[in-house]
Structure 1
Amino acid sequence: MMHKKDMIFLSILIACSESVVLFYFCSAKSPRSFLCMMISYAILLIFPLNIFLASLREHRTGTSLSTLETTEESSKQQREIEQFTHKQLKLHKNNFTQKLKELYILLEQNDLTTAQKILGEQIPLKDTDIICCTNSIVDGILQSKKSECIQHNISFEYTILFPEKNDFSFSVLISLFSNLLDNAIESCQMASSLNPKIELSIDYKGDFLIIFMQNTKETALIFNSLARKTTKSDSLSHGFGLSIIEEIVKSYDGFCEWEDRGNIFESRIMLRYLL
């Protein structure tokens, strides 16, 4: 971009040049003298024109570099999200495989009671827990997180109305609900509240799945909506979790909103379940 000093100099030079032209024109000199004057005027303009062109090139170069840096930063963030997602899916797969092995051994030993515990069939449902979901993946995640909440003395209540027909893949459902609930459980564990809780509502209208969740959080930990992190020092995974959810929602023509309400954190998600 042109510096202020260059602009002032250019303005003065052009003003002087125009004054010279006006003077010669008004003094009714011979055509030959006037032609010489015009040539001199053209030569005089070469210097400020070079300054302008150099400034323009500098501006374009700066803009290109800025765009390149932004693109590289976005690509880097995307790679980090993909790596984190892959690591999470691998972890879920290993945990699921391990549970299947344990279940097989227990069935071989005819230990049905312990096998039922692993399957989550003995987790009691509260009156407020409503499930209308034919999707076994979502059911499995809810039961698993319900068990984890019981272990950490976290109240987990939910109302689930899930569409039977949808275009969600296995990996999308795991990433979406596992990250959402893992963040909520982590937030409840960090809170000083004696009665931490998670309330989850899933419904659908038209072609859109609507998810609303409230969970307890520590009031002193302030959520940064731009960085997708709280003020706690180990908030990287929390930020990655929300970024993964946002990427999924974006790919399904939806939107999400995170709101810090002091001792409560609210998550609102809407995404198209039929593409």
Structure 2
Amino acid sequence: MAEGSLLVGMDIMDLTSLFGNAIDNAIEHVQKIEDKDKRLITLKLTSKGKMAVLRVDNYCIDELDMVGDLPRTSKRDKENHGYGLKSIQYIAKKYNGNTTINLEDNWFTLSVVFPIIK
């Protein structure tokens, strides 16, 4: 579910990177889950007051290994990976917003909140 009008005024490359990285990360994780019924992803883009809220949830079987406020990449080649969430964080800050990451009851949640651009 996405209220696309909330994104008017954002650079197309930022939108591509924001959604592409968020969805790619979620898909990559759920593909590792053997039980196909648990391969679940939700994406919502809504507004709360004057803020746009992007939330991507996916079922998660791993524990988070955090480095600062971001999880460490699960890929073997750590030098050339792990930039997706950093990119999302950068985009959020560029538009005066922020990101939060949470893992609770096997649900990984990425939230990106930023002011609605008029």
Band the TM-score falls in, shorter-chain normalisation: 0.7 to 0.9
Once the two structures are superposed, residues 7-65 of structure 1 have per-residue CA deviations (whole angstroms, 9 ceiling, x without a partner) of xxxxxxxxxxxxxxxxxxxxxxxxxxxxxxxxxxxxxxxxxxxxxxxxxxxxxxxxxxx
Shift of 1:225: 5.1
8 Å CA contact 2:6, 2:117 repeated in 1: no
* 1:158-197 alignment, distance < 5 Å: 159-163=1-5, 166-195=8-37, 196-197=39-40
List runs of 5+ in structure 2 lacking aligned partners. Answer: none
Q: 1:235 to 1:271 in 2, by over 3 A?
A: farther
Aligned length: 116
- Counterpart residue number, 1:266: 109
In 2, distance between residues paired with 1:174 and 1:231? 21
Structure with greater contact order relative to length (CA < 8 Å, sep ≥ 6): 2
**RMSD of the alignment, in Å?**
2.5
* Superimposed CA distance per residue, residues 114-157 of structure 1 (whole angstroms, 9 cap, x where no aligned partner): xxxxxxxxxxxxxxxxxxxxxxxxxxxxxxxxxxxxxxxxxxxx
- TM-score, normalised to structure 2, is 0.81
Higher helix share: 1
SS of 1:190 mapped into structure 2 = coil
Superposed, which structure 2 residues align to 1:33-182 within 5 Å?
A: 159-163=1-5, 166-182=8-24
> What is the CA-CA distance between 1:164 and the residue it aligns to?
6.1
Equivalent residues of 1:208, 1:271 under 8 A apart: yes
Q: Distance in 2 between matches of 1:198 and 1:232?
A: 18
1:206 is displaced (CA, Å) by 4.1
CA contact (8 A) 1:228 1:239 kept: no
Give the match for residue 198 of structure 1.
Answer: 41
**Contact persistence 2:23–2:56 (CA under 8 A):** no
The runs of 4+ residues in structure 1 deviating greater than 6 Å are none
Partners of 1:162 and 1:202 within 8 A in 2: yes
Taking the aligned partners of 1:227 and 1:257, their CA distance within structure 2 comes to 8
Partner SS state of residue 274, structure 1: coil
* Higher normalized strand content (fraction of residues): 2
What TM-score do you get using the length of structure 1 for normalisation? 0.38
- Counterpart secondary structure, 1:266: strand
Evaluate the alpha carbon distance shift between residue 161 and residue 234 of structure 1 in structure 2; reply closer, same or farther with a 3 A threshold: same
Sequence identity percentage: 24
- Alignment deviations for residues 55-82 of structure 1 (CA, whole Å, 9 cap, x no partner): xxxxxxxxxxxxxxxxxxxxxxxxxxxx
SS of residue in 1 equivalent to 2:71? coil
Tell me by how many angstroms 1:262 deviates: 5.0
What CA deviation, in whole Å up to 9, does each residue of 1:186-236 have, x standing for no partner? 1111233332110111112444211112101223x4241526234735374
- Greater Rg by CA: 1
Counterpart for residue 57 of structure 2: 214
Say if 2:17 and 2:88, in contact at 8 Å, map to a contact too: yes
Determine the structure 2 residue equivalent to 1:23: none
**Structure 2 counterpart SS, 1:218:** coil
